[in-house]
């Protein structure tokens, strides 16, 4: 793992919590609060909880359960403010120093090998371009040496597997076979797009190469906004091609003309797959306010949206009836 960044400007409260855990070991929340108070460090309940999370995000402490993390996800910042609560939830389980669980220093060679295996499993096909999405120090040179060694051992293959990726490309044999099978699927034109042909991905997912390893295909209205790899955005692919880009909260959609072919039914299948969007991604009702930069009622795809279960709303289109469709995992 990469060494976590040090906590910027630690305060006496942060230091008191770390000293408590250093002396007492894994401790429950009440035990930490009592010990910190005995050291003469006072703060509000909200300040104490925020300090704990500061140490978590800095990679200095952890909890032996997922309870605090689940509670943090369920009670977002807005809900906490409305309730007038005491800040981020930290109850459940014992808190402990991360330094007691991992070695103080990592072997550089083992670390490079681990990162290389991570890239192979995450991207399938690894080239220099993959590091554009990763925060790895040292560049591609050390990873290339490991890949070359793995190739000599027969554990990975080197070749030109994906057009557009720069330099040498490496992959496990299984990844190459799956890629070739996917190419045959993409080239199929003898039947309409079906459920197994569709994938719904978060735009930032490493499984989505567009906007990172590969450029986004041409959109229907380039002057009205372009797809981006940002939090909360989603992309629907049919036979490996992007069909729909769904902006955060589903209010804005962008279509890709190259993939939207009436004879294949790609758009209809992609719209049906939208039922797979997590509720948390929408934060309420599924309301589409723009399609390719236009109000939905002016879009040429209006009828396809209606057939997929969307109906007119004063804000645009609202999903009122989800079709019986499940996107492929």
Q: Phi, psi (5° rounding) for residue 119?
A: -65, -40
Average pLDDT over residues 239-266: 88
- pLDDT per residue over 200-209, tens digit each? 999 999 889 8
Strands (DSSP E) found in 231-325:
234-238, 241-246, 252-255, 287-288, 290-291, 310-313, 316-319
Could you tell me the pLDDT band of residue 278, with boundaries at 50, 70 and 90? confident
- pLDDT per residue over 286-325, tens digit each? 899 999 999 999 999 999 999 999 999 898 999 875 444 4
The helix/strand/coil state of 271 is helix
User: What pLDDT is recorded for position 87?
Assistant: 56
Identify which has the larger pLDDT, 324 or 35: 35
The helix/strand/coil state of 290 is strand
User: What pLDDT is recorded for position 73?
Assistant: 72
Average pLDDT over residues 2-17: 80
Could you tell me the pLDDT band of residue 262, with boundaries at 50, 70 and 90? low
- pLDDT per residue over 142-151, tens digit each? 999 999 999 9
CB 46 within 8 A of CB 16: no
Could you tell me the pLDDT band of residue 79, with boundaries at 50, 70 and 90? very low
Mean pLDDT of all residues in the chain? 85
Please report the DSSP string for 81-99 in residue order.
Answer: HHHT--SS---SS-EEEGG
Distance of CA 231 to the CA centre of its chain: 7
Given a cut of 80, is residue 77 above it in pLDDT? no
- Contacts made by residues 117-124, CB under 8 angstroms, sequence distance 24+: 119/143, 120/156, 120/170, 120/171, 120/172, 120/175, 122/206, 123/206, 123/213, 124/171, 124/172, 124/175, 124/178, 124/179
Residue of 115, 25, 33, 13 whose CA lies nearest to 62 = 25
The alpha helices in 25-172, defined as continuous H runs, are: 29-38, 45-57, 67-74, 77-83, 108-123, 141-152
User: What pLDDT is recorded for position 324?
Assistant: 45
């Amino acid at each position: 793992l990469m060494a976590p960044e040090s906590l910027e400007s630690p305060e006496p409260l942060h230091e008191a919590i770390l000293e408590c855990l250093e002396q007492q070991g894994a401790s429950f929340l009440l035990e930490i609060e009592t010990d910190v108070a005995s050291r003469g460090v006072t703060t509000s309940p909200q300040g104490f909880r925020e300090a704990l999370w500061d140490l978590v995000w800095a990679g200095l402490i952890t909890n032996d359960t997922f309870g605090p993390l689940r509670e943090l996800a369920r009670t977002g910042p807005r809900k906490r403010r409305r309730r007038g609560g005491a800040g981020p939830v930290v109850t459940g389980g014992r808190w402990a120093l991360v330094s007691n669980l991992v070695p103080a220093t990592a072997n550089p060679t083992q670390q490079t090998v681990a990162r290389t295996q991570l890239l192979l499993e995450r991207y399938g096909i690894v080239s220099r371009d993959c590091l554009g999405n990763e925060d790895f120090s040292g560049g591609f040179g050390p990873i290339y040496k490991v890949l070359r060694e793995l190739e000599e051992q027969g554990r990975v293959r080197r070749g030109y597997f994906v057009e557009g990726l720069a330099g040498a490309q490496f992959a496990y044999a299984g990844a190459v076979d799956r890629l070739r099978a996917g190419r045959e699927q993409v080239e199929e034109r003898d039947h309409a797009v079906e459920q197994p042909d569709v994938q719904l991905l978060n735009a930032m997912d490493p499984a989505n190469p567009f906007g990172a390893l590969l450029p986004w295909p041409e959109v229907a209205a380039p002057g009205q906004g372009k797809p981006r790899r940002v939090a909360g955005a989603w992309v629907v692919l049919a036979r490996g091609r992007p069909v729909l880009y769904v902006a955060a909260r589903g209010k804005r959609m962008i279509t890709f003309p190259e993939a939207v072919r009436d004879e294949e039914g790609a758009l209809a299948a992609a719209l049906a797959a939208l039922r797979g969007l997590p509720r948390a991604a929408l934060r309420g009702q599924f309301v589409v306010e723009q399609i390719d930069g236009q109000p939905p009622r002016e879009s040429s795809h209006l009828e396809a949206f209606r057939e997929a279960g969307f109906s007119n709303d004063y804000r645009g289109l609202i999903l009122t009836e989800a079709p019986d469709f499940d996107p492929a995992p």
